Amino acid sequence: MNILITGVAGFIGSNFLKFYREKNKNDLIIGVDALTYAGNIINLEKEIENGDIIFYKADIRDRDKVEEIFYKHNVEVVVNFAAESHVDRSIHNPQIFLETNVLGTHTLLEVARKKWCCNGKWDEDKLFLQISTDEVYGSLGPQGYFTEETPLDPHSPYAASKAAADLIVKSYSDTYGMPVNITRCSNNYGPYQFPEKLIPLMIWNALNHKELPIYGDGRQIRDWLHVRDHCEAIELVIKRGKRGEVYNIGGNNEWKNIEIVKKLIKILRQKTGDYGIGEHLIKHVPDRLGHDRRYAIDASKIRKELGWEPKINFEQGINITVEWYLQNIDWVKSVITGEYLEFYNKNYNKK
């Protein structure tokens, strides 16, 4: 199979590449990434060196380039991770979210349609897999779960751009019969996550005895899933998913943000013996605009239909994740340069 992974230099994309390559030695893997602040070629260094991937620095909005890659490598499956992914950035500058997440996805769909469709007939082995998020469903109260039938009700510009992309993907299935799937996953954690997201940001700040900014009361709830479990679910959808369907993916693992931060402090103190790391670093800062209160996924469909279930329990997962960051401090230092640092200093690091 010739599989195109977009956003392959980002957090989930690079984890998926490593996971998928290990299990599918004979597939041709083509990777595309624009290498924005969030995409780092060092995440793929080994795979590029070993010839495990043919990598292109390319923008999914660049139709000519995308078309060239599709035809040159006879792309059969697209897994679209490429996106602007950080809610806070979408609040400051929504434009790029619409351009990449909506128009970029549309460009990929158009090229796939041209390449794969002849007279309304589609080969069974083709697939456009859109990697989406539970944030498209909006926010829950204290009870209940998002199912695949929950109406879309996105709140942040990020979530709205992902919901728009989902609807365009669906329209290509409904209108042209394109073989598609959409997966909607809860919050991921694990290695190679850019240190602007909650878990790696808190680890990095704590190690440097910097403030740990908690938005509002910190009692917002997220459903955390180790990235490897997400990758397993994606592979199952590629191989056995019923085309045209949406699959929710989640860890059934709800935590309040403040609990996560306190847990990280405890683990870091134990692992480093550094007692300068403590709850005194926690600082409640003004809440995120439009902050969703609770996300929680009902993943029973993928469990029943494809036999997926998360394998990494949170205690184990969070410990190995902290360990990874401790052993890869140089990685953290190398990615928080340039554009990210400028943005971070301007918006969050005024002190």
Q: Which residues bind ligand TYD (CB under 6 A)?
A: 87, 187, 197-198, 201, 213-215, 220, 222, 257, 288
Q: Which residue has the tokens 């000519």?
A: 64
Residue 145 sits at φ, ψ, to 5 deg, of: -140, 155
**Neighbouring residues of 298: CB distance < 8 A, sequence distance ≥ 6:** 145, 146, 147, 248, 250
- What is the DSSP secondary structure assignment for residue 151, as one 8-state letter? P
The H or E element that residue 174 is part of is helix 157-176
Smallest distance, Å, CB 333 to ligand NAD?
A: 17
Q: What gap in Å lies between CA 80 and CA 247, rounded to an integer?
A: 15
Q: What gap in Å lies between CA 129 and CA 297, rounded to an integer?
A: 19
Q: What gap in Å lies between CA 91 and CA 271, rounded to an integer?
A: 35
Smallest distance, Å, CB 99 to ligand TYD?
A: 19
CB nearer to ligand NAD: pick between 108 and 268:
108
What would the x/- binding string for ligand NAD be over residues 185 to 214, using CB under 6 A? x-xx-----x--------------------
Told to judge if 158 belongs to the known catalytic residues of this protein, a careful annotator would answer: yes
By CB under 6 A, residue 247 contacts ligand NAD = no
The residue among 252, 249, 140, 264 whose CA lies nearest residue 197 is 264
69 to 88, contacts with ligand NAD by CB under 6 A? 81-85
By CB under 6 A, residue 12 contacts ligand NAD = yes
Which residue among 3, 4, 5, 11 contacts ligand NAD (CB under 6 A)? 11
* Both structure tokens of 205: 């700040």
- CB contact at 8 A, 60 and 75: no
Q: Give which of ligand TYD, ligand NAD, none residue 222 binds (C-beta under 5 to 8 Å, depending on kind).
A: ligand TYD
User: Catalytic: which of 76, 84, 135, 232?
Assistant: 135
* Both structure tokens of 130: 């859109």
Q: Give which of ligand NAD, ligand TYD, none residue 220 binds (C-beta under 5 to 8 Å, depending on kind).
A: ligand TYD
Told to judge if 20 belongs to the known catalytic residues of this protein, a careful annotator would answer: no
Beta bridge partners of 285: 215
Helix (H, G, I), strand (E, B) or coil at 11: helix
Told to judge if 305 belongs to the known catalytic residues of this protein, a careful annotator would answer: no
What would the x/- binding string for ligand NAD be over residues 120 to 139, using CB under 6 A? -----------x-x------
Q: What is the dihedral of CA 54, 50, 183, 289, to 10 degrees?
A: -90
Q: What gap in Å lies between CA 261 and CA 220, rounded to an integer?
A: 12
Smallest distance, Å, CB 65 to ligand NAD?
A: 10
Smallest distance, Å, CB 346 to ligand TYD?
A: 15
Q: What gap in Å lies between CA 274 and CA 120, rounded to an integer?
A: 63
By CB under 6 A, residue 56 contacts ligand NAD = no
Smallest distance, Å, CB 335 to ligand NAD?
A: 10
Q: What gap in Å lies between CA 286 and CA 38, rounded to an integer?
A: 25
By CB under 6 A, residue 36 contacts ligand NAD = yes
314 alpha carbon, distance to own chain's centre: 18
Size of the site for ligand NAD (CB under 6 A): 31
Q: Give which of ligand TYD, ligand NAD, none residue 215 binds (C-beta under 5 to 8 Å, depending on kind).
A: ligand TYD
CB nearer to ligand TYD: pick between 80 and 188:
188
Smallest distance, Å, CB 156 to ligand NAD?
A: 12
- CB contact at 8 A, 12 and 38: no
Q: Give which of ligand NAD, ligand TYD, none residue 38 binds (C-beta under 5 to 8 Å, depending on kind).
A: ligand NAD
Smallest distance, Å, CB 16 to ligand NAD?
A: 9
Q: Which residue has the tokens 């009902």?
A: 298
Residues of this chain that interact with ligand NAD (CB under 6 A) are 6-7, 9-13, 32-36, 38-39, 59-61, 81-85, 100, 104, 131, 133, 162, 185, 187-188, 194
The catalytic site residues sit at 134-135, 158
